[in-house]
Structure 1
Amino acid sequence: MLLPLPTVSIVIPAWNEEETIKACVLAALEQTVPAHEIIVVDNRSTDNTAAIVAALQIAFPDAPLLYVTQNDEQGLVPTRNLGLDRASGDVIGRIDADSVLEPTWVEEVQRAFTDPLVSAATGPVIYYDMPLRRWGLKADDTVRRVMIKLAREYHFVFGSNMALRAEAWNVIRTEVCRDVDDELHEDIDISVHLHEHSLRVQYVPTMVTGMSARRIDDSPRDYYYYVTRFERTYKRHGVRNLGVRAPMWLFLALYPALKAVRKGQEWRANADADA
C-alpha cells in the first residue's frame, strides 16, 4: 500500500559559499511542488553567505527559508547533523551548497517515498559547469546503475543529491561517524549505517540535481586524497565487499580525461576573452 505524499525538508550545509548559495537556494525555492522548508546551515562563514541568504529571505518573504548557524565546531558532519535534526519534514533532503536542483526534484522525492519500504533515496547529477551536460546526465545515470549492481546488497547515497526518511535518520543519527579528522566520505558513512539497519536505499533516476565539477580542479594529490575517502570509510567499518569500491576506482580512472576537458574549457574561455 502506498503512503500519502510526504512533506520534504531540504537541508543545505554551507561554509563560505557566496559564489554558489544563491543559485542553490533559488533552485530549491522554484520547485513544481514546494518544499516544506529549506534550511541553510551556516558553519562559521566569513564571506557573504549570510547576507545572500538574508536577501533571499527578504525577496521571498512567504517562503519557508530558514537560516541557522552552527558555530560550535568547524566541519561538515556537525553542520549537516544540526540541519537534519532541525528539519521537521517527513523526508529530509540533503544537498550541497553548490547543488542546483532540477525543478521537479521535490516532486520526485515525494513520489519515491510513497513506497513505505524506501528509507532513503539518491539520484544522478548533471555537472552544470562541464560541456555536453545532458549527455553527461545520461552517462552519470548509467555509471551509477552499474555501481549499484557491482555493490550488490550495498546501496549508496550521495551527499549532493540524497533524501532520508526522518524515521531513518533518527535510527542512525547517534551512530554516524563524527569524522573529526576529516578523513571519510560522510555520505558513504550514512550509506553504511543505513545498510547495517537493513534500511532500503532506492536509486531514483528522475531525482536529478546539478552540481559543480570543481573537484576536478584539485591537484592530483588532493583529488587522490578526496577519492580515497571511499577506502578509508569502508576500512573504518570493516566493509570488505570489493564492489563498493567501484566509485573510487572509476573516479580515479576518469580524472585524467576530466582534467583535460577542464583545461580545454579554460583555454577556450581565455581565447574568447582575448578575441
Structure 2
Amino acid sequence: MNTLSLSVVIPAYNEEQIIGECLRRLTEQRGYITEILVVDNNSTDGTRAIVAACALDWPAITLIEETEQGLVYARNRGLDAASGELIARIDADTLVPPDWAERIVEFFTADHEGYWAAACGRGQAYDLPYGDTVGALRQRWRTRKNNRIKQVPVLYGSNMILRRPVWAAIRDRVAMRRDIFEDVDTGLCVTEIGGRNAFLPSITVGVAPRRMATGVPSFVRYMSCLPRTLILHRRYGLALGAALLYLPPIIVVHAARLTLLRSYDAQTRRFTLANLLRATVDRVAP
C-alpha cells in the first residue's frame, strides 16, 4: 500500500530559542515527512540562520519569506507552497513525539474513502515550573475513558493536518483577520464544505506555555477571539455560551496559574511572592 506524502508547515516569528529543537524532532521522522516549510514572518533574531543551518543537514527543509505581517499570511503562504498530499501545520514551539508523523500518515492512508478531511491532536504544555500534573492526569483519564477517534467541529493550530484538496477548497473561505482564532476558523470552514475533522488522541504534542505567562488583560483580549470567531461563522448560540459560560472560569484559572508562573524563580527553583513584583513583558503576537 502506497503511503501518502506529508508536508509540514511552520509559521515563524522570532523563534530562535525553540525552532532548532522543533526541526530536530521533525528531521528524525524524515521517513514519513516529505518536506518541511518554515515561513519566516519578518523575524529580527536568529530564526532564519538556525533554519538555514538545519537545511544543510536535510535539504527537505525550505525557508520561505512572507513579508505581510500576521500568522494568517504566513500560514497561507506555507499551505499554498506545500506539495504533500497531507499538510500538517504546527507552531515553531511545537515539539512532536517520535511517532507523530508515522501515526498521521498511517491514519490518513488507511482512510481510503477520504471520510476525514482534516485532523488535529492535543497540545500539552512543557517547561512548567510546577509540572503539568493536571494535564497528565486529564490525559490519562481520557485515554482510559475513550481513546477512539472522534469528530470535532474545530482544529487546533499547533497540531493540525489538512488534506491538500481540502485546503484548496477552503482557501478563499478562511478569514484573513488577526482578531479571531485562525485555527477555529479553519476547522469551521472545513465543516461548512461538508468535511469532517478528526481528533486523534495518539498525536499529542508539546507546546510552550507562553500564552499562560501573558498578563490577564492580554489573555482576556486573546480569548475574546473565540466568540468573535463563532459570530463570524454565525454560530450565535455558541458565541453567547462561550462569552458567558466558558471565558469567565478560564480567565479565573489563568489568573491563578499566572500567579504561580510569575512567582517562580528559575535559578533557585523556588516560589517567592517577591517575584510577583518583577517587571514582565508579554510576547508580541506575530
Return the TM-score normalized by structure 2: 0.82
Match of 1:193? 189
Match of 2:165? 167
**Change in CA separation of 1:169 and 1:215 when aligned onto 2, cut-off 3 Å:** same
Residue by residue over 1:62-95, the C-alpha shift from the partner in whole angstroms, topping out at 9 and shown as x without a partner, is 4411111112x11110110010000000100000
Q: Is contact 2:152-2:198 (8 Å) kept?
A: no
| Distance across 2 between alignment mates of 1:137 and 1:38 | 29
2:36 corresponds to which of 30, 35, 38:
38
Match of 1:79? 74
| Distance across 1 between alignment mates of 2:187 and 2:127 | 27
Identical-residue share of aligned pairs (%):
32
Q: Is contact 1:99-1:211 (8 Å) kept?
A: yes
Match of 1:108? 103
**Change in CA separation of 1:247 and 1:68 when aligned onto 2, cut-off 3 Å:** farther
Match of 2:256? 257
Within 5 Å, give how 1:48-197 maps onto structure 2. 48-58=46-56, 60=57, 62-71=58-67, 73-113=68-108, 114-115=110-111, 116-130=114-128, 131-133=130-132, 136-139=135-138, 155-179=153-177, 182-197=178-193
**Change in CA separation of 1:36 and 1:82 when aligned onto 2, cut-off 3 Å:** same
Per-residue deviation at 1:112? 2.1
2:217 corresponds to which of 195, 215, 221:
221
Q: Is contact 1:125-1:137 (8 Å) kept?
A: no
| Distance across 1 between alignment mates of 2:173 and 2:136 | 33
| Distance across 1 between alignment mates of 2:3 and 2:133 | 29
Per-residue deviation at 1:259? 1.5
Q: Is contact 1:126-1:134 (8 Å) kept?
A: no
Gaps of 5+ in 1: 147-151
The alignment yields a C-alpha RMSD, in angstroms, of 2.6
Per-residue deviation at 1:111? 2.1
**Change in CA separation of 1:111 and 1:42 when aligned onto 2, cut-off 3 Å:** same
| Distance across 1 between alignment mates of 2:15 and 2:236 | 36
Q: Amino acid of the residue matched to residue 132 of structure 1? A: G
| Distance across 2 between alignment mates of 1:5 and 1:64 | 18
Q: Is contact 1:129-1:212 (8 Å) kept?
A: yes
Structure 1 range deviating more: 216-225 or 249-258:
249-258
Match of 2:206? 210
Per-residue deviation at 1:137? 4.2
Q: Amino acid of the residue matched to residue 176 of structure 1? A: V
| Distance across 1 between alignment mates of 2:269 and 2:183 | 39
**Change in CA separation of 1:27 and 1:223 when aligned onto 2, cut-off 3 Å:** same
| Distance across 1 between alignment mates of 2:151 and 2:121 | 17
Per-residue deviation at 1:227? 1.1
| Distance across 2 between alignment mates of 1:103 and 1:221 | 37
- Is 2:1 the counterpart of 1:6? no
**Change in CA separation of 1:143 and 1:155 when aligned onto 2, cut-off 3 Å:** farther
Per-residue deviation at 1:228? 1.4
| Distance across 2 between alignment mates of 1:177 and 1:140 | 32
Gaps of 5+ in 2: 271-286
What SS does the aligned partner of 2:83 have? coil
| Distance across 2 between alignment mates of 1:54 and 1:32 | 17
**Change in CA separation of 1:41 and 1:215 when aligned onto 2, cut-off 3 Å:** same
1:234 corresponds to which of 218, 223, 230:
230
